[in-house]
Structures are given as structure tokens and as C-alpha cells.
Chains A and B, each alone.
Chain A
């Protein structure tokens, strides 16, 4: 059963929007030892064991694109591990406030709002994560630095797995709820620590 091992590791990357850093996410997952399939149609979700939602763009555009592609239902009913990256994590929330008010996937009880703090916005650069609720995804990554690049943050959320300090302000940098994982930073842009995180995701049991 040579295929079985491969199937257990087949990571789908949701291809949506006109931007999308599919390319770098794909490369990084492969570097971490995973097999990837770019998800272009709703039926592609049946072929994969895990899903990564990359994120570049605005909340509003992202939801519009997911809707146009027919990806909203398959994502809502996907019962295997999902990893949302940056905007890909944010759209798991109920509501987003980037360019108006937009409904998210509603998979986690949260809202996405502009970061309000003294620091420069976007929060951009390498910053440390503090693991508050350990899980397999963040295994061995306590206090490691990851690359952040965002102006909006997730708020009102209780399933926080990591926080990041920015100018006296705590940003939710990782979440976990059942099969759902989300990271505000970009593992595909975070050198060895990022590859390690993706490798942890690949190793998660389905």
C-alpha cells in the first residue's frame, strides 16, 4: 500500500483570489516533506487529507473569491485538519471589518479588526510567539520568531494557542479549535521555524 502513506500526507492548498502566495506556501510545505495538491475546484477537497488556506489580500476580497470558486461549503464541512495562514486564519472568524463589514466562514467565534496600538501598522517583521496553550502544531516552537505582515487582528477569541507582544499590545498569533488551526504569521516566510511548523502540521494524525 505505497499510496496510503502518500495519501495521509496529501496537503491541499486552497487556490483563491487574484493574489495568493500559493507559490511560496507550496514550496515551503514541500521543503517540510509534504506532498501538495493545489485545490482549484470544490471536488478537489475530496482528494486531500489536510488543507492549508494561504492568505494575501483583504478580508472582503478573499470571501468574495472563495464564494465565486464555490469553496465556502467544502471548507465549512471539511472535517480533517485545516491550517489558515494570516488572512487564511482571519477568514475562519464570524466577521471581518476590512473595507466594510464582511461575513467570514464563521468556524471560530471571533471578529477581525484593525490593530489599535502605539506601534506602526502594519505589524511587520520577525516577532516572538508565546505559547499559551501548547498543541502539536507549535511543538518545539515556544519563543521562536516568525514573520508577521498584517494590519488586522483576530479579537474576542477564546481558543488562543499563542500570543505575540507588539508595542505593549497582545496579538493573537495562533489559534486552535478541534481540527482547525490558524497562525497570524507566515510560516512559509519564517525560515527554519516556519518549516518546522509546517512539518508539525504534516505529521498531525488525520
Chain B
């Protein structure tokens, strides 16, 4: 099975933005336009993350989700500010196939992962990890890379797997948006630690970076943002370079 190439939209409604180190937002375009663009380029999947919902503690803007989902015939994962089973339900009703959760599970109640996976199936529950490296370990951050949690990433990924998460989105606060390569050391560790699929994000600056990540960590999927937003590469380019044949 080929590595999934996923387009990731970090959204500060109404725009897709691109933070550097999760800060300093730049407008990239509208979510539905970009979703369509990457769908047409051959993306295997789309991730939509409202990156300010938790931080600003405001309600999720479900209308946006529905608009983006409406023209896609590929899986669509959405998240940002998910706080309850009811939020999960609403996301699915708006057309999401998977729901992405981070802050609430880390800060408030990790058992939401158990509940959601029992009701919706584990395949529909994605746990987003925002990792920051310290001397000898990585720590989980929340609220778009701003709040330190004291949770150790390597322990947390095993805990969320046990709780029923179906997938991990692994982001790095250190490498995100810098386009200087992934944190391959972390990626390798996490991929080897858990039996659920891991989607690695944060740091692709070139096709070489992607090749290196696959060689070192071989994740199930790679989520790409900047590289696509700045038109440095298309999904076709990435697949071609990885020798993934067109469907």
C-alpha cells in the first residue's frame, strides 16, 4: 500500500493560513478553493484544522466544514476545538469522515477518545500531537503549539492508542512551517511505538525531505501544507518522486 499523501489546511476562518512554528500567520486562500485544487492534484485525503478555535475558546464554525466537504470524493478529516461527543457528531454530519482532537483530550479529559471510538469506530478518531523537543524528550503542546502540557509524547501516543484512537497526526512545533525537513527522529520513534497508522506533518521543504522521512520512518501518511500552498510542489510531483502510480 502506498504512503498516503494528504493535503493539510490550517484554517483561521475564513482563510487557510500558514503559521511558522505555529505563529506568524499568513493568508493562503479560501479552504474550499484550496481543497478543490489539491483534490484535483490527486490528494489521497484532506485534513482541515481550525487552528484558533481552542485558543480563542470559541465555538467550531461548522458551516465552513460543510462547504469544504461538499465537493470532495476523498476522505476528509476535520478538527480544531472539539470538546464533546456532540461536536464529533456534528462534524460527521457536516461531512467529515474522521475527527481530529488534541487540546481537550490532553488538558481536560482523555476518556473522550474512548467514548468517541466506541461510538464512531476507532477509524474515525484522529489524535493530533503537537510535539516540541526538549533535551532528551518531546513534550505535547496544545492550543496550536502554545500551551505546554507536561505530557511526554512517547507515553501519550501509547495511551491514546490504548484508548482507541485510530490514527495519529504527528506535528512538530519545532519544524512546522520552516520548510527545513521533518523531525525524522521523533517520527521514527512514534511509528515504531504504536500499531495504529501515523501521519507525519511539519517541515517538508522539498521532495527530498519527504523521501528522507519515508526512508527513516516510513509513516502511513504524510500531511503537506506549505510546500503545496507556496506552489513549490504539487501532489503529482510528490507522488511521482515517490513512484506512486496514478490511479
Q: Are the CB atoms of B92 and A19 closer together than 8 Å?
A: yes
Question: Chain B residues near A21 (CB, 8 Å)?
Answer: 92, 95, 97
In the complex, whether B220 has a CB less than 8 A from a CB of chain A is yes
Chain B residues with Cβ below 8 Å from A191 are 73-74, 247
- The segment from B116-124, B148-156, B179-187 found at the interface with A is B116-124
B121 touches A120 (CB 8 A): no
Whether the pair B1, A19 counts as a contact (CB closer than 8 A) is: no
- Interface contact B247-A56, CB-CB below 8 Å: no
Q: Which residues does chain B contribute within 8 Å of A31, judged by CB atoms?
A: 73
Q: Once bound together, how far apart are the Cα atoms of A87 and B70, in whole Å?
A: 22
- A96 vs chain B, min Cβ distance (A): 12
Q: 1/0 per residue A99-129: CB within 8 Å of B?
A: 1000000000000000000011110111100
Count, chain A residues at interface, CB 8 A: 41
Instruction: Note all chain B residues with C-beta closer than 8 A to A125.
Output: 1-2, 4, 44, 197, 220-221
Residue with the highest number of chain A CB atoms closer than 10 Å, among B123, B196, B198 = B123
Interface majority SS on A: helix, strand, loop or mixed?
mixed
CB pair B247–A18 under 8 Å, yes or no, is no
Decide if B73 touches A126 in the complex (CB within 8 Å).
no
Q: Mark A1-39, 1 if CB is under 8 A from B, else 0.
A: 000000000000000001111011001100100000000
Which residue in A19, A27, A120, A149 is a CB contact (below 8 Å) of B75? A149
B166 touches A122 (CB 8 A): yes
Is B197 touching A126 in the complex (CB atoms < 8 A)? no
* Inter-subunit contact B92/A56 (CB<8 Å): yes
* Chain A CB within 8 A of B195 CB: yes
Tell me which residues from 56 to 110 in chain B have a Cβ below 8 Å from any Cβ of chain A.
69-70, 73-76, 88-89, 92-95, 97-98
A81 interface residue per 8 A CB criterion? no
One of A43-51, A72-80, A182-190 at the interface: A182-190
In the complex, which of the residues B73, B95, B98 has the most CB atoms of chain A within 10 Å of its own CB atom? B73
- Across the A-B interface, how many residue pairs have beta carbons closer than 8 Å? 113
Pair A58/B118 contact, Cβ less than 8 Å: yes
Interface size on B, residues (CB 8 A): 34
Interfacial chain B residues near A87, Cβ < 8 Å = 121
- The answer to whether B195 and A121 touch across the interface, beta carbons within 8 angstroms, is yes
Residue B167, interface by CB 8 Å: yes
The reply to whether A24 and B167 form a contact with Cβ atoms under 8 Å apart is no
**Is there an interface contact between A186 and B195, defined as CB atoms closer than 8 Å?**
no
A194 close to B (CB within 8 Å)? yes
- The answer to the question of A157 belonging to the interface, with a C-beta cut-off of 8 Å to chain B, is no
Measured between C-beta atoms, what is the minimum distance from A185 to chain B in Å?
A: 11
Q: Which residue of B lies closest to A122 (CB)?
A: B123
Scan A80-101; emit 1 where CB is below 8 A from any B CB, else 0: 0000000100000000001100
Contact, CB under 8 Å: B119 / A188: no
Please report the C-alpha to C-alpha distance between residue A20 and residue B92 in the assembled complex, in whole angstroms. 7
- CB neighbours (8 Å) of A56 from chain B are 92, 97, 120-121, 124
Interchain CA distance A23-B93 in the complex, whole Å: 7
Per-residue CB proximity of A47-64 to B under 8 Å, as 1/0?
A: 000000000111001000
CB distance from A169 to the nearest CB of B (A): 11
Asked if A120 and B196 make an inter-chain contact with CB atoms under 8 angstroms apart, the answer reads yes
Which of B1, B89, B123 lies in contact with A18, CB distance below 8 A?
A: B89
Contact at B89–A27, with CB atoms within 8 Å?
A: no
Measured CB to CB, the closest approach of chain A to B246, in angstroms, equals 10
CB-based contact A99/B74 at 8 Å: no
Residues of B within 8 A of A20 (CB): 92-93
Interface centre among A23, A150, A186 (most CB of B within 10 A): A23
Residues on A facing B (Cβ under 8 Å)? 18-21, 23-24, 27-28, 31, 56-58, 61, 87, 98-99, 119-122, 124-127, 144-145, 147, 149-151, 166-167, 186, 188-195
Chain B residues within CB distance 8 Å of chain A: 1-2, 4, 44, 69-70, 73-76, 88-89, 92-95, 97-98, 118-124, 166-167, 195-198, 220-221, 247
